[in-house]
Structure 1
Amino acid sequence: MGRTVTEHPVRLAKVRSVTVEVRQALRSDARDNRERILAVARLAFATDGLDVPIREIARRAQVGAATVYRHFPTKDALLAVAFAEQMTVCSAIVEEGLAQPDAWLGFRLVVKKLIETHAHDRGFARAFISQLPQEAGFAADRARTLRMLAELVDRARTTGELRDDFVLEDLILALMANEGIRAESTVRRLAAARRFAAFMIQSFQTSPTRAPLPPAVRLPLSTP
């Protein structure tokens, strides 16, 4: 039986429809893989440090290493995307402190919020402190945040409330110490970080006011 005039266009339309569906499915799978890789990477960096190899992240995400590299050509690129949101939050905190009319109040706010933010995500804390990743966009955002912090420190010293001998590295030292907090849960780690922040703020002040500290937190004691 001969084919009708309209049969070929109809079949072509069906082929195109199937092709579009396949492409959409592939794009959806790629998005799912990317999000799973990022979720696994964030957890791995937070619990095991930044030295976790790409192949181990791929294994935990149940994809091949080639799939990870397809989305993130380098480990720096993966680190940058994994912590991009936290870097934005970190910058916003410092901007909020600079916007305060009272420089000492702004400084205290920034110390408290940075310590809490870093305690909430130790992976990001390690990335920020260790100057990793070196990916251009992330590194530029971090450098901008540090410049704003330096400006805030200068303003707070000018008020006479912040010790004259305080330098920006002292705040980095506090963040490094804060990263070492170990607790049985995120809630306890954040509570411990708040108490630690209060101690740090008092130590940074020219004439410390002995305000009540946040409640103490029971932490595990490591033994040799």
Structure 2
Amino acid sequence: MTTPAAAPGDDPNQQPGAGLRADAERNRDRILAAARRLFAEEGLGASMASVAREAGVGKATLSRRFATRGELINAVFADRMDAYATATREALADPDPWHGFIGYIHAVCAMQAADRGFADVLTMTFPAAKALEARRAEAHEGLLELIDRAKATGNLREDFTDRDMPILLMANAGVLNAAGDAAPDAWRRLVAHMIRSYATPDAPIPPLPEAPAPSALYRAMVRLTHSPG
């Protein structure tokens, strides 16, 4: 097996100074960019070794920058978790709580659709990634308030709970994984149906998006059938 050539900042004999610090920062940026690509394409199952190869750095360099997978995940998805928390705050700021609730559902599910790795992050917990989990807790507290406000409008069913959100996210992640690029908008149809199931009989609901074409669904089913594992 070919060992990756030492990237700038990997050389233990390099003298300390501004150049070394700049190289170290470039290596960190390369690692984060590589991890984002791999996590987005493969999910969080991508190995640390594959991240190092993709970044063109040695395993020792990766370990110096990010000692654990949790640290790497925290760094890669910090901005996305910020966006997740922001989606909650924006929903709470909507003068119509029911409209805000619908907007929140769409925003979070769209985040999943844009990044497979983030889809995994939303349906898993990472106790070692303290900052990431803190953002998740903040978003969850906002969600609880949003649910209460939406119920007060009479448009959200009384039996909806915060535990229905992970179920929706897991279902959406499954559709995204199964449909892939064969039916990339299939998730929108799922989400629209789920919103209808959460609404009371007289609640205003968005129009139902078009169902994927039969040929697209066929390609998605063939893709799923032939997926490894």
Q: Could you say whether these structures have the same fold, taking a TM-score greater than 0.5 normalized by the shorter chain as the test?
A: yes
Q: 1:127–1:154: structure 2 CA closer, same or farther, 3 Å change rule?
A: same
RMSD: 2.2
Distance in 1 between the 2:206 and 2:85 partners?
28
User: Are the aligned partners of 2:32 and 2:76 in contact in 1 as well (CA < 8 Å)?
Assistant: yes
Residue 16 of structure 1 is matched in structure 2 by none
Question: 1:210 offset after TM fit, Å?
Answer: 6.9
Are 1:83 and 2:85 matched, yes or no? Answer: no
Q: Residues of 2 paired with 1:108 and 1:39: CA distance?
A: 32
State the one-letter code of the partner of 1:120: A
- Tell me the percent identity: 40
Q: Which is further off, 203-212 or 105-114?
A: 203-212
Q: Does 1:195 align with 2:189?
A: yes
Determine the C-alpha separation between the residues in 1 that align with 2:204 and 2:43. 37
Q: Give the counterpart of 2:210 among 210, 215, 222.
A: 215
- Residue 140 (str. 1) matches residue 134 (str. 2): yes
Q: What is the distance in 1 between the residues matched to 2:206 and 2:89?
A: 26
TM-score by length of 2: 0.80
Q: For 1:56, which of 23, 47, 50 is the aligned residue? A: 50
Distance 1:214 1:27 in 2: 51
Where is the helix percentage greater, Structure 1 or Structure 2?
A: 1
Where does the alignment leave 5 or more consecutive residues of structure 1 unmatched? 1-20
The structure whose Rg is larger is 1
- Which stretches in structure 2 are left out of the alignment for 5+ residues? 1-14
The equivalent of 1:72 in structure 2 is: 66
The 3 A distance-change label for structure 1 pair 91 and 114 is same
Residue 171 of structure 1: CA displacement?
A: 1.5
* Distance of 1:105 and 1:119 partners within structure 2: 21
Of 145, 148, 153, the match for 2:147 = 153
